[in-house]
């Protein structure tokens, strides 16, 4: 059972996630997000993360130069591609930068499910998330859930995380319904956009680990 706490911005929230037992910590590099970090801010936070906890960089349709600059300044273990990157682009980034790649796939209905199979052939991990609202500025972190029954009987050869609208109160039920053994949360452990609640972080990890 593994938990990813995404959108961390302060030393206190990083420490809370580590202390609670999170396996992945997500740092957001997307200026439109209330969780956006500069490279310097992210580097300072990453320096406090102990060995064995995976540091994930969330990017949205980032170009090669942007990725290279980020990786030159921030010690990152995994790239999370949360934009409209094609399977070809995912495979290229993985090869070009030599890091494992997690690809986020937005799900709203059954028509979105074939993408999970398609991207599972090129990504190291999938993030099965709620689809971005039409016209919405953020591809993730919107606090929205999709109908988990859509993926209840499905499986992919690639490891995957469940995301989208998860909270300390519903994560255990979501895991039992979908069979997920990895979960991701951002807005579900916040008091306001980008403001993490340390008690909610602890409660979320406890609930998730207690579901299996």
For residues 26 and 9, give the distance between their C-alpha atoms in angstroms, rounded to a whole number.
Answer: 9
For residue 24, give the H/E element and its range: strand 24-29
Residues shown for the chain: 212
CA distance 15 to 25: 10
Question: Locate tokens 């951002």: which residue?
Answer: 186
- Active-site residue, selected from the candidate residues 77, 95, 124, 129: 129
> 161 φ, ψ to 5°?
-115, 145
Question: Which three-class secondary structure state does DSSP give residue 148?
Answer: helix
**63: number of Cβ within 10 Å:** 9
Which residue's structure tokens are 């906890």? 53
**Residue 124: active-site member:** no
Active-site residue flag, 129: yes
Of 25, 32, 24, 27, which Cα lies nearest the Cα of 9? 27
Do residues 171 and 208 touch, judged by C-beta distance below 8 A? yes
Point out the residues that are catalytic. Answer: 6, 129
């Amino acid at each position: 059972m593994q938990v990813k706490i995404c959108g961390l911005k302060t030393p206190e929230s990083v420490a809370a996630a580590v202390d609670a037992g999170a396996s992945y910590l997500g740092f957001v590099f997307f200026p439109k997000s209330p969780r956006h970090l500069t490279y310097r801010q992210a580097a300072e936070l990453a320096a406090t993360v102990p060995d064995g906890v995976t540091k994930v960089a969330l990017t949205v349709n980032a170009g090669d130069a942007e990725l290279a600059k980020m990786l030159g300044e921030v010690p990152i273990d995994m790239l999370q591609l949360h934009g409209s990157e094609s399977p070809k682009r995912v495979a290229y980034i993985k090869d070009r930068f030599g890091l494992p790649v997690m690809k986020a796939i937005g799900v709203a209905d059954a028509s979105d499910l074939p993408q999970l199979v398609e991207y599972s052939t090129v990504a190291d991990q999938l993030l099965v998330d709620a689809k971005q609202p039409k016209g919405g500025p953020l591809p993730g972190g919107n606090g929205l859930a999709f109908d988990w029954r859509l993926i209840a009987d499905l499986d992919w050869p690639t490891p995957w995380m469940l995301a989208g609208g998860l909270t300390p109160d519903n994560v255990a039920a979501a895991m039992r319904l979908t069979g997920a053994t990895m979960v991701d949360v951002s807005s579900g452990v916040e008091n306001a956009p980008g403001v993490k609640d340390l008690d909610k972080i602890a409660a979320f990890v406890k609930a998730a680990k207690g579901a299996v």
